[in-house]
């Protein structure tokens, strides 16, 4: 009989403790206290920005299996080549014949491929959209690059005008020389060479002026 009374008392005490801590969870001992609605905060990952590519120098450009371009300026950018205005005239060179820095700086990025999905044979046909053309971004030159381009243009123009004046002088002297005066005679070979060079330099000057600085 006594054991039954003790058991009933223990049950009553246990039920009272259970009810008390259910209504007052903050009073639970620290060893069994569990914080509700606890959410762990993830540690943010630091994103290191990728530095932009550096513009390659245009004073002297080595070309694979070709002549080194000097005092060049990029006139047109395409997906597989660059068109330069340089001392050698208008020259178009593909990226695989230029140093890697040119493709990294000028070549447009290829479009991201679209994932291929298996079509449902029972689904109605979906019209295929026309892909938009890849936009080619022409980068604006910095003030330093603009000044360098203007200086290169003026220097090339000056050299061509000097050569044209020299060749024109030889041509004029050939037409005006006297058969009785052999001093400083311009031979037919000298005349032919000067005339050929004069035509080539005039054509090169017209290309330079059309391209601009």
Q: Is residue 24 part of a domain?
A: no
Query: Is the pTM of the predicted complex or chain greater than 0.75?
Result: no
Q: Is residue 203 part of a domain?
A: yes
Q: Per the structure, how many domains does the chain have? A: 2
Residue-level pLDDT at 31: 46
Please tell me the distance from the alpha carbon of residue 12 to that of residue 16, in angstroms, as a whole number.
6
- pLDDT tens-place values along the chain, 213 residues long: 667 887 888 888 887 777 776 766 665 565 444 455 556 666 766 677 777 778 888 899 999 988 999 999 998 898 889 999 999 889 999 999 999 998 888 887 766 667 677 767 777 777 787 777 776 666 777 888 888 888 888 888 899 999 999 989 988 888 887 655 555 688 888 888 988 998 998 998 888 888 877
Please tell me the distance from the alpha carbon of residue 53 to that of residue 94, in angstroms, as a whole number.
19
Q: Is residue 161 part of a domain?
A: yes
Residue with tokens 């120098």: 57
Do 160 and 95 share a structural domain? no
Q: What is the CATH number of the domain that holds 105?
A: 2.30.30
Residue range of the domain that includes 94? 54-110
Please tell me the distance from the alpha carbon of residue 111 to that of residue 82, in angstroms, as a whole number.
19
Residue-level pLDDT at 50: 74
Do 147 and 103 share a structural domain? no
């Amino acid at each position: 009989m006594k054991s039954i009374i003790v058991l009933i008392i223990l049950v009553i005490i246990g039920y009272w403790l259970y009810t008390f801590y259910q209504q007052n969870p903050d009073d639970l001992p620290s060893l069994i206290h569990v914080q509700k609605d606890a959410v762990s905060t993830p540690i943010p990952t630091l994103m290191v920005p990728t530095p932009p590519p550096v513009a390659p120098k245009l004073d002297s450009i080595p070309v694979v299996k070709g002549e080194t371009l000097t005092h060049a300026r990029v006139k047109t950018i395409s997906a597989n080549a660059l068109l330069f205005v340089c001392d050698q005239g208008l020259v178009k060179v593909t990226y695989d014949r230029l140093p890697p820095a040119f493709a990294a700086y000028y070549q447009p990025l290829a479009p991201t491929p679209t994932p291929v999905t298996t079509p449902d044979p029972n689904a109605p046909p979906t019209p295929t959209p026309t892909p938009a053309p890849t936009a080619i971004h022409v980068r604006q030159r910095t003030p330093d690059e603009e000044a360098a381009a203007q200086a290169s243009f003026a220097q090339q123009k000056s050299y061509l005008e000097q050569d044209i004046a020299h060749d024109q002088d030889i041509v004029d002297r050939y037409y005006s020389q006297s058969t009785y005066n052999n001093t400083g005679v311009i031979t037919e070979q000298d005349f032919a060479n000067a005339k050929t060079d004069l035509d080539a330099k005039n054509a090169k000057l017209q290309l330079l002026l059309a391209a601009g600085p």
